[in-house]
Amino acid sequence: MPELPEVETVRRGLQPLMEGARFERVEARRGDLRWPLPKDFVKRLEGQTVTGLGRRAKYILADLSSGEVLLMHLGMSGSFRVAQAGHEETPGDFLHERSKSAAHDHVVFHMSSGGVATFNDPRRFGCMKLIARGSLEQEPLLRALGPEPLGNAFDAAMLAAACTGKQTSLKAALLDQRVVAGLGNIYVCEALHRAHLSPKRKASTLAGRKGAPNDRAAALVEAIRAVLNDAIEAGGSSLRDHRRTDGELGYFQHAFRAYDRENAPCPTRRCPGIIRRIVQNGRSTFYCPVCQK
């Protein structure tokens, strides 16, 4: 599922019940996620207070009073479902849908706030890890990540520098989390469409001589920021069965301009193009061959 906007939406959904609250009881029903949960996972969490809930790229990071950090990744199909204190989950479609997937409820956090957060992940590409805060800098999963696209450090100069000399396509470069951290297949397609840049263009063409950024780099940075901000505001995208923690659907999928729109007319003003689907590095790319150069 989840790229930066979806992960940020999940983080915001978890915040009210987790931040400042204690893990009263933790259920590790299935430990064989992307990597096995540590054997003492439950013991190291129970009794700890969450002092802050943050995000880096597509990782959610919970700071614990023990000095450890709980790192969580949703993989392709992971999601959290939240139940508030004293409230049964609302009956109806969501409950029905949930009953189908209860077999994939792998980890359950019972918080002192009274809230319960349930991690569901059919494909089990997600992961959870406990890391000492002092060694967070050395954590292999985080160490090589590039800049946060919504942070101040990310600008045209930085993007151009990261792409200098890259022989690969712009599409592949933007999917590379070392170049910029948090984009996935959807938002790369959407950002390139907004910037009117072809996904097949060489990444190195974002920089002029000496690696100086050109107008394409500037346009791409603006497009990335805009699409991520728009998507966060819409609560992320809901494809297939993914939902927000409150069971509501994000609705940014209705605003896609290129992704999953093969053969539809290009939405760029006065562009006569038709959205095409191609495969790059084994993944679908959607783009307009007319206005994306």
**Footprint on this chain of DNA (rule: CB under 7 A):** 1-3, 6, 32, 34, 57-58, 73, 75-77, 100-101, 103-104, 122-125, 140-141, 166-169, 172, 176-177, 184-186, 203, 236-242, 250, 281-284
Q: Closer to DNA at the Cβ: 238 or 292?
A: 238
State in angstroms the smallest separation of the CB of 20 from DNA: 27
- Answer whether 110's CB lies under 8 Å from 119's CB: no
CA distance 252 to 5: 10
Q: Which residue has the tokens 């064989």?
A: 32
User: Closer CB to DNA, residue 48 or residue 120?
Assistant: 120
Six-digit token string for 239? 């494809």
> What's the min distance (Å) between Cβ of 251 and DNA?
11
| CB-CB contact of 66 with 44 (8 Å) | yes
Nearest residue (CB) to DNA, 215 versus 262: 262
Task: Give the residues across from 199 on adjacent strands.
Answer: none
Q: Is 3 marked active-site? A: yes
DSSP state of 89: P
2 given a catalytic annotation: yes
110 or 216: CB nearest DNA: 216
In the complex, least distance from residue 212 CB atom to DNA, rounded to whole angstroms: 19
CB of 116 to DNA, least distance (A): 22
Of the pair 62, 111, the CB lying nearest DNA is at 62
5, 6, 11, 58: the catalytic one is 58
What lies within 8 Å, CB to CB, of 191 at 6+ separation is 174, 183, 220, 223, 224, 227
Active site residue 283: yes
Helix, strand, coil share of the chain (percent; to 5): 35, 25, 45
Name the strands in the sheet holding 50-56, side by side, starting at the edge strand that comes first in the sequence: 50-56, 59-64, 68-73, 127-132
Question: CB 276 → DNA: shortest distance, Å?
Answer: 13
**Which one of the listed residues 38, 122, 283, 289 is annotated catalytic?**
283
Burial 187-222 (b: 16+ CB within 10 A, else e): bbbbbbbbbbbbbbbebbbbbeeeeebeebbbbbbe
Q: Which residues are catalytic?
A: 2-3, 58, 283
